[in-house]
Structures are given as structure tokens and as C-alpha cells.
Structure 1
Amino acid sequence: MDVFSPGKSVNYSCDPGYSLVGKSSLHCTDNASWSTPHPRCEVSSVLQCPSPPSIEGGSHNSQEVEVFIPGMVVNYSCDPGFSLLGEASIYCTESGNWSLPPPQCAGGCGAPPRLSFAELTEEHRNQTAFPVGKTVRYACRPGYSRHPTVPPALTCLSNHTWSEARAFCKRKQCRYPEAPKNGRVVVLTDLLFGSIVNYTCEEGHRLVGQSLRRCELFGADVAWSGDLPICQKVVCPAPQIQNGKISVIKHRYRYKDTVNFTCHEGFTLRGHSMAQCSANRRWHPPVPVCEQVVMCLPPPGIANGEHSSPSSDMFGVGALVHYRCKPGFVLIGNESVRCMPDGAWSRPLPRCEAGCVRPGVGNREAIGLESLYRPGDIITIECNAVNVPRGPHKSQCQPGGTWDPPLPACSRVKRCSKPPAIPHGWHSGLAKAVFAPGTSVSYSCEPGFALTGMASIHCTESGAWSHPPPVCQAVKCPLPPNITNGKLESNISDTFPYGASVSYSCNAGYSLAGNAFINCTALGTWSQPPPRCEEIRCVFPEVQGVKKATSGNTYRFGTNITLECDDGYMLEGISQIQCQEDFSWDPPVPACKLTSRKSGSVGLGVAAAAVLLLLGAGIIWKIISKQKQGFYHTYENYNYKTALDQITEKKCSCLA
């Protein structure tokens, strides 16, 4: 396998003579890198065995193996015409020696073959060498009986092999199994020793006991294992429904029994009104529930209006009541109210106010959409095909039902019909049927579409529109930008419509800075700059009490560093650390601690310390640092995604 998905794991093993240090398996992480730390193979410190001894007339199966470690097994076999005497295998012991003695190859036959249906008689059971012409006898194993026409014996032939082992023992047979009441038995193969039968029940019954039985030994004979299962009728528990009742009450309900459910007054049924006892001892459909019914009082009245509800005292949840106004009044607000789950009517209630009657212009052939207008409504006067307004074109409905300014008169003129609709867009003249010369309409597109053509057209004196309608075309974004040391995660296509989203991820050893996702906007551009992939580098910290020859070094993600202390210093912590994805070292950076010096140096150190204490702690540290040239040895191992046998080391040192 060349590519591994996140969660997949691989196992490592070492060649003979080497032992594994670390975890034996690694797994692929979500950031497309292998888990750490990586294991390694080191030369085993245990004793090794010499090459296995050779035998005359035979050989072993490890001729190509060079290293033999404790526990390894070598198998011997004899050349044609020879038979093996003794154990065919020897193994390497913990002391570095082979288990003895090795086998021998001699003329004649070795141990007779093991048979699945028979075993050697007692007199030949432990013998390993037989002369040519020797005959051995077998006895049938338990569960088998003698075949009357085939002798149970093998003979050592002149070619040092045993004669063919014929089936002189046959399997015993169990009696035909009994079928349970309301069920049946299925014979899968036959009734011989070791065979299996299966039990099933008729519809409406369930099996109690083991569904499989095997033909097994029973004393000196064979019989079916276990007890005969039984088939019981399916029984469902008595259904319970609060605030309701069931049609048939029983102590026990059997398969396919049905019951009907009803609720008490003031409650309504949620679910199915009928259920049936199914084969899995459950009711199907599930038992319903009775929920309390919520009702609303009669809806309130409004001034100068009335509602259309019937003469009812109560209304159920969801019931709608419509309002209408008296002649000369117009309805303000929603024309209907609904009974809510809390037993109240939806708010606010509508109201009726005095309105303006649709005006007639000139010869009363003006076009209007409403028969009554609300106070504050503004209308544009539009005449029929042979008239055009003179004076003001707009008028507003005033409280009391009058128009201001006064309505104009009309004269003959040509007008335009409704402008054409466009897919995925609309125009500003949807509320009008005809348009006077000079009237303009503007087109707009739905989100994700861009306007191509004239966004605004006007009605000309000839009664035609000035330009063809524009077109709304789907917005598309260009290919998303690439990022250095990273890649796009989403499926890349040739087009990216409005709303499309792509995501980025970084290569191993880099960390994502910024938002991983960008979206195609309604303007045909990507929503934000793409993220960046910044290299993961760990800073090696200054260690208290130790100075490094080169300070401020940084190391790449996955780098392993092995630390050592010079003579006279002791390492506190784990010697090998690795740069992590979060820019930290794991395990933490150890320290090199000064240990006790040799006797001559101790005497000088004590004397020097007594004098230096008078000069201050800073001078003491400087002298000790000059007397002891302790330093770190660091081994950097840039081994992420590198095989064990390809690990390289880079050595540097840091002075204390």
C-alpha cells in the first residue's frame, strides 16, 4: 500500500539478532503524518547459538539463516530412503546452545502417521523407528467405528515409507433428531459424528433453548448435544395508555392480537389508533399517547368590523378566524388570527379605518387595482390605452376618505404593457399592468447571479420599451489560489458557482495560519485571502546552569535530538526529545547537573569556594564554569516520515 488514510496503522519487527526499542506500531494521524516517536532496531544483547549441527542422510530448513537467537526453532528432514529417528525439531536455548540431541536419519520407517479417525495401539505408540516389513495396528478413536472390510494396519515398505492409510474407521451416526412442537429441525449436512442440526419455529412462536445441536460423544456412543429446544407462542405485554382506554382487555395478548385505542374527553390521540402484537413481542405500530386538548374562547370583536367564525363556544388549537370591515372602511393588519397552543388568539388584532374609494380620472376610464385604499396610501394615476394624466401623477389617501392633491384628468396617449420577466431576476414594475411614456423600470438578479445588459429601461412615446430586457447569469469564481507548502482539500472542478466552498491543509511539518475555508461570493470573488502554511520550528531553550556554544537554534517539526552530558555532569530527564506540532519538545528538555568531583579536585574546590564566597555568587559561578568544561552533546535526527534504517544523525555540542 502506497497511501495510508488517517487511522490506519503499521507494525514493525526487527531482523533476527536485533530487538525493537519503542512502540511496535505507528498510526497515520489526521494531519497526514505518522505518530511519534518512531521505533528502532538495536543489536540484541542476548547470547546467540552457533549454526545447527548437521546430520547424515538429512538436512535442516535454516541453511540461509546467519543469526540464531534463543527461542528460534530448526526443523530436520531426511533424504529419500531414510527415516527420521528422534524429535524433528531443536531450538536455541537461553544459554546459547542447541537443545539436544539432534535427530538421526536411518534406513527403515520413522514414526507412523497420525490419523484423525484412529490412533496407534499402546505397543507402538512411543516407538520412533521401524524396520522394513513391520506392521503396526490402529484402534478407532471415540466417535468412530471399525469398517469391517478394511484392516486397521499400516506396513513399513522397502522404500522406507508407510503404506497408504485407508479409511478403516468410519464416523458413527446419531439418531434422526426430534422436531419441537410448532417448529422444525433442519439437517445441515448429515447425521454423522460432528455434524450440526438447526431448529426453527413456526410464525407466531419463539425458540427457547439452543438453536443448534451437534452430534457428540455420549459414553461409548454418540448423541445430540444439549436438550431439545421448545417453541413458545409469542406473548406481548398488556398495553398501557394514560388518559385513555383500549378496546379489548386481556391478561395475555398473543401473536397478531389487535387492540384499538381511544382517549378520554378533553384529550386527543397522538399516534395510531390500532396496534398489533408482532413476532418480536412488541406492539406495532407503537402504543399511542393521549394529550390534553387546548381550546380558545370566542375571538374578540373589532370596531367597524366583524369576524367570520361560526357560532361556537370553543376553538381548537390552529383554528383560523377571518375579519372583514364594514363598507367604507379598510382592514389594517392581518386579516386572520389563529388559536395558539397556550389557549390565546394570536396578536395583534386587525383594525378597521375609513378609506378612500378608487378614483375615476376624467371620463372614469382610469385603471386601478383596489376598490378601497387605506389612509396614507399613495397611488399613481394611470389612464386606459386612450388617456394620459395631466398635472400631478400621484395622490395620497387622507383620513376621512379624500385624495390630496386632487385627481388629474386624462387625454389620449400610447402606453407600454408590462415589461418581460427574466429568469433568476425581477423588475421594479411588478405591481403595474400598464406603463405611461417616460416610466422606467429597473431589473435586479437573485443572489448568485449577475446582470448582463441594460439594468434600467423606459417606456417610449411609441408604446414600446427602450431596450431588450437584461439577462441574469450565474456568478462563477476563478480557480482558488494555491498556497506554498499546502494544498486544496476539496474536489477541484473547472467551475465554482456562488456559495461553493473549498478548504486548505498544510504539508507535514507546516501549520495552517488563517481560516482553512474560503467561499465563492455573490461578486464572483473568493471570500477572503487563503491561509498560509508556516513551518513548524521548535526553539531550543536556554538550560539553567548550562551554556550552549550556539544559542538561539531552531529545529524542524519531527526532529529528534539526543542529549548527553560531559564527564562530571549527570543527565536529569530523558536523553531523546522531539520537536512537536505545537512548537514544544516532548519529552521536556533535560538538564545536566554537576556531580561530585575526584578527591584532588574536591580539595581545591573547597578551598577555592571559601575564598570565592567573599567575592560574591557571580564570581563563584564563573570560576566553577572554568574549572569544569561540561557541555551537552546533541544529536539531531530529522526523521519524520523516514524508515528506521534511513535515520541519520547530526552532532553538535553546547558548552556549559
Structure 2
Amino acid sequence: MCRWLEFLSPPCEKCCRSAGSKSRCREETRIDLAKLVTEKVISSPGKGGNAETAQEFLIVMLIRRDNVIKDSSSIHVLTYIKCHASTSAFLIMMELFISLKKIHCLPAPALLNGKFSFGICETRVSSSCLYECSTGYMITDSVLHCTVPPKTHEGVWFGDMPICEVQTCDRPPLYGILKVSDDTLCANSPDVPVNETCSFSCTEGYALNGDEVIQCGLDGSWLQPIPECEGELIKCKKYLPEPKNGGKNGCPFQEEQFGTTCTLFCDVGFKPVNESDPLQRTCAANEQNKGYWEGGGTITCTDVTCEPLSDPVNGKIISCTNDGSSTNVNHIQHYNTICKSSCNPGYTPQYSITRRCMEDESWNGIDQLCQDETDPEVTCPSDQILYADYNQLEATFLADKWEPVQATDAGDTLTAELFKVDSNLLSGSNLSEGEHSVEYRAEDNAGNWGSCSFDLDIKVTRCPPLFVPPNGELTMESGSGSCTGGAIYGSECLVSCKPGYKLSVETEDESVSLVCNRSSSTTTVGVWTDTLPSCNRIECDIPSVSSGSVSGCPISALYGDPCYFRCNDGFKTSEGLKSITRVCQDNRKFDGQDFQCDVQVRCPPLSSPNNGSVTPEMCTHPDGVLFDTLCSFSCDNGYLQNGVYQKTCLDTEIWNDIREVTCTDNEAPVFSPPCPTNQYSNADKGYTYASIHEISDLEPEVSDNSGEFTLTLKSMIPIENKFPETPTRLTYNAIDSEGNLAVCDVIVHVTVFRCPRLQAPFHGSVVNCSVSPVYGSQCSFSCNEGYDLVGSETRTCELSGNYGPASWTGTEPLCQG
């Protein structure tokens, strides 16, 4: 009989037995749970027990007794409660069990590289989900439980989320002679993933026992056994002898282990016969796993030799010795042989005098150089003289007069070169008068040089001074120097007389040329080509004058004397002259043209004034009016006479009164329409002024009874015809041919169209915007940082058609943040 029956009272025994009559009762844990629920929760409602406490208790117990307390356990608990608790308590517990039975968790989360163990997962409260991983992965935390947190009615999954990680194998332990390949994961990681392989090998000289490649299995273990290295170390048993005149290092034994390196070498002064052979031998294994010396046997050593040295230029090899014994200097020399060289007389040795044959079959030191240090000896010519050329103060430097200049050097003959003349003037240059120093220099192949110098005197030929003849002049036409102080060879002097005098010799010109010449090319004394002439006074004959006379000079006039030539009253020359003063010239004639009074004096014809007349008729004759004629003027009726009434022709071919006679009226010009007048213009676009290109368009209409008048603008026109906004007054004067004046004012009015002044937007600014914007003006707007401009960025002041008023284009800008 069940142990829990001892807790049932007789009234309840029936129902309790009916619940477990057909089978043995569940484990005593269920009885203990039912008794505990009744004692702690239901049977003590007055001691703090309530439905909420009961719910929490049941949930905890149901969850923590996972797989022990099932639905049947709940039934037994409720049965026990019904037998031992009040009806209200039983109803509370029933309601709690029913509500818990209805609560579910959300579907359990899927597992990456895994799945549910049984294909599905229950979601009701107290259920559990069991996970498992796919092949090649291992799981961590495989279970989640559906539970209801205290004071809630929602199911949640409790427990750490399972994780599927890649299954790995542990890398096999490696020891001295067992190695893994560098190109596999085994070489770099202690964990090897599933299906990856490791390749093994043994240190050379050992054999691998087992598979060379093993693979990691799905369960984290190696599918093949780990291989091992077996066998004894290979040895080279053939003795490697030391070379003659050489030795070896690293292999002293009769038998050497595998991998031993033996270094072969030749003694100092010797070298391997075959220098391409390696000097190291290594104990290696052949295909039969037998040891042998890789690289061959020992080497053969032969003597180190050097090629014989060549004699230095201007010197020779004088001796060669080896270990105290002399050798032939022309033969091949052995290692450590020392050879000496020397230079010929007059040469100094440079660099290595003694040289030794080295181990690398080369000679140490630097090739001997025998350097010449003797300066050449240069012989210059004696001092030389050169004469200046024709009409020159300089002489051309011609070195071929004394070249070549020779020099001697160690028995050789050299040609010296011109080095400098005074301040480095070279051959072909001109040298001025006086003494100059000429230097020549010779240089040998070694760079040694010698020099010599001599004096070169440049001389100039000059003629004796000339004296200026009385009343004459002496000028230098060409050349240098002076005619009175000594002119140079080739200079030309001109002798001429002052005005009023003539040369004593007959010449085509009025001067005589004297040229400075020389008798030979090696003299400094020149001679003139002719003698110096003298100067004599000039006389002029006085000519006769028709209808005139000559006065103021003697019968025989001398050079420079003036004579007064004059015509009688009423006569003149054909050139229109009445009198003239003529001077006796150096050509023995008076200056100017011949003076003859063969033309009668006439005054110019008079013109009748407009609206008037002049009498007699001869006063208007086109050939002129004769001397002393009287002419009278008069005006027509209705005109006022201005000027004189009579004019007389004078001897000077002018009228006695030069005033013009006119007949004028007194009526001034008339403007139409009457003045003042007004002109209207619109200002230019973008400006406060109007440009009127044709000012003549502003002129008023005018007329005069005479038909002749002049209209003049007396006011200042604005600069560049740009009229301002304020009215501009232009004053015009109309003057007729008689001087009658009429005045008219034209007033120019300029209309300037303006737009209202724009303001900057809030959180922004306006630029390039004037205080009083006119038609055509533009204003630009911008916003502060952090604000965007909405509306027109630029607005222009425009007209509606060609007339006002003016207004702004675009829309008002705003700055929005």
C-alpha cells in the first residue's frame, strides 16, 4: 500500500484510493510535494498564504523538479489538496493549474551548425529543448527550459544559448627528428580543424615509420596513427684527406656523421687549381641511404703568380726579389715577390716605387708614374717697334713679324704661345701709342711651363704744326691731333678765308686741302702735301636802278658794306619791294636778287558792301586801283552805314583806312517756340543720369530776317553728355550777320526711377545693395551658417515696360534653420 495513505482522512480515503487504486502510487516525492503545498500555502490562508504565493511556489516546484513532476504529479497534488483543504483553496489551486497549462514560450531559437535533438521542441511551460550539433562540430550548453518569471503570465526560455564550435584535433607532439611541413596548419596552430591534414617528415638521415599524411576525424581524433622516426644516423666512412699545400677544418675523424661540413683551403701563396670547385664538402645520403661527401674529394693547390709589371713611361722596372733571391723582371712572378721601379733622369717618381705580388694574383700599390718637373726655357726676340697705320693712333698687333718663338725642354723643341700683352690683349688687337710688354709661354706635357717677355714700342708719324693765315681759318677735316699742334699721318686740314676775303690761289672750292704724309713706313716725321695760302679783301660794283636810286655806300663797296636800294613813289619791284638794303658778299656781288622798280603800285580792289555801293567804278576793278585814287561808299535805303565814307590808295599798296564798310539792319533773330523750353529724358539703367548722345537734338528752332545767323551754346555741357537728376539749364545765343543777339534757355529734366530699399533677412545679410537703389540695381542675399536661403538669392530693380514705377524682381528671401 502507498506510503502517502497515512496522510488521508477517512472521508477522503475513497477519492484518494480511486486516484491510485489501479496502480502503485508515484514516488514519495509527489506525496511530499502535495503535503508541502497544502501545509505551506492552502491550509494557512490567515498566515500569509494566498493565490499569488501558491502560483510562485507551484511554478518553482514544477520547473525545478523537471522530469520528476509531470502532469500526473499535478493531478495527485490537486487530489491531495481537495482531500485536506477547503473548497475555496482548492478552487484557487485549480484555477492556477489551468492558467499555467495555457501559457507557452515563443518557438525556441535555431542553432547555427546544429538542430533540435528530436526534430521538434515543445513550447509549453516546464518543457525542455535539447540541441545537438552537425557533424564536425561540438556543442556547449545543450538545454533550454520554458518557464514563467514570478509575477508574470508570459513564458520565456531559461538557460545559456547552446553554441556549436568547429571540432578540432590536438596537433601531435613533435620531437627533435620528427617535423611537420611548413605549408600546413600543423606548423602554425596547436588545433587542427576536422578534415584538415598534417604532413610529416624526419630529419635527414632517419626513416619515417607510418603514414606521411594523417587526417583529423569528425570526433576530434586522428584517423591514422601518428608516425615515428626510426633508424641510426648515416655516416660518411671514406676519409677526406688534407690537400697538399693546404688543410681542412670541421672534419677531423675517419668517419663523420651525416650533415657534417668539411672546409678545405690552400696555404698562403697557393690557390685551388680549379677555382670553380666549392671549398666545402658535406656528408650527405645517396638513394641507398649511404653516406658520401657531396662536392667531391679533396682539392689540389697550386702556386699564386702575378703577371710581370710593365715599365713606367719615362722609367723602368729595375729589380724583383723573392725570399732574398733575384728573379727576372720580365718573367711571371710568384706570390710575395717584391719589384722595384725607377724614373729616367729629369723625372720624379710618383706613387708606388716597390710593389708586391698579392694572394689575389694582383700587385699592391698604384702604377708608377714618372713626372716631368723641369720647366721649358723660352727665348724671346729683341724689343720691337711697330708704326701706327694711316690716320690711326694705334698699330695692328701682327705677331708674324717675330714668330715662331721657340723653347727647349729636356732636349725637345717646343713652340711658345702668346700669353698676354699688357692686359691680356691677344694677336689681332690694336695697340695704342707707347710701350707695351709682350709675354710668351711654353708648357710641356707634364704641365711645367716657362715664359719670356720683350717690349713693343708703338710709334705714330706726325706733321709739323700749321699757322692760321690772317683773315683765314684752319680746320681739321679728318684724322687725329690738331692742325696747329701736330696732326698724325693721314690727317687732312682745310684752309679757308673769313667772309669778305678770298684765297690767294685759284680753287674750285673756297678752301684748300693739306694732307699729312710720310716719306717711309719707318719714320715718325711727316710732311704736308702743299704750302699754306693767304686771304685777300673782296670788292663789289654798284648796279643802276630803274625808277629808283641807290644810297648809303661809296662808289666802290667793300665786302660787308651795306647799300640802300629804293623805288620812286608809285613804283615797286616785280617782287613787290619798295626798298631793300643789300650787302657786298664774298662772291663780289650784292646779296639778294637784282633790284629794279618796273611795276606801278596798286591797291587791292574794293568790294561794294551788301545793300550798298562804292564809286567810282574803277575802285572795284579786278586789276587793282592805282596809287593816290579816292573811292567813296554809300548804303541803300533802310540800312545803316558802318565805317568810313572814303578811302585813298597809299604808296604802300594799302588803303589809308582798313576798316570795313558795311550796311546792317537792327533786327535780332527770333526763337520758335518762345523760350524758355523744357526737354524730358529718363535716366540710364543702373544710373542717376541720362546720356544724351546728340546735344544737337536739344537746340531750339531759330530764324532771322537776313537769313544768316549763328546759334551758339554758351553753357557747359555735363561730362560725357551725362545729365544729372537735377534740372540742367542750357543757354543758347543766336547772332545774325549784323551782330543782333537773341538768348534762349533750354531746361533738361531727368527722371530717375527707384525701388524701395530692401532689408536683410533675419539670420542673414544683403550685399551690393545701395541705400537708394535705382532701376537696374541688384541686391544679393545670403544666410548665416546653419541657415538655408528660401526665395530669390538675387533681386533686380526693373521697370514695367519702358516706364515707371520701378519694382523688385523675384520673391522676398528668408533664412530658415
- Same fold flag (TM > 0.5): no
Instruction: Please say which structure displays the higher CA radius of gyration.
Output: 2
TM-score scaled to structure 2, two decimals?
0.22
**Higher relative helix content:** 2
Higher relative contact order (CA 8 A, sep 6+): 1
TM-score normalised over the length of structure 1: 0.26
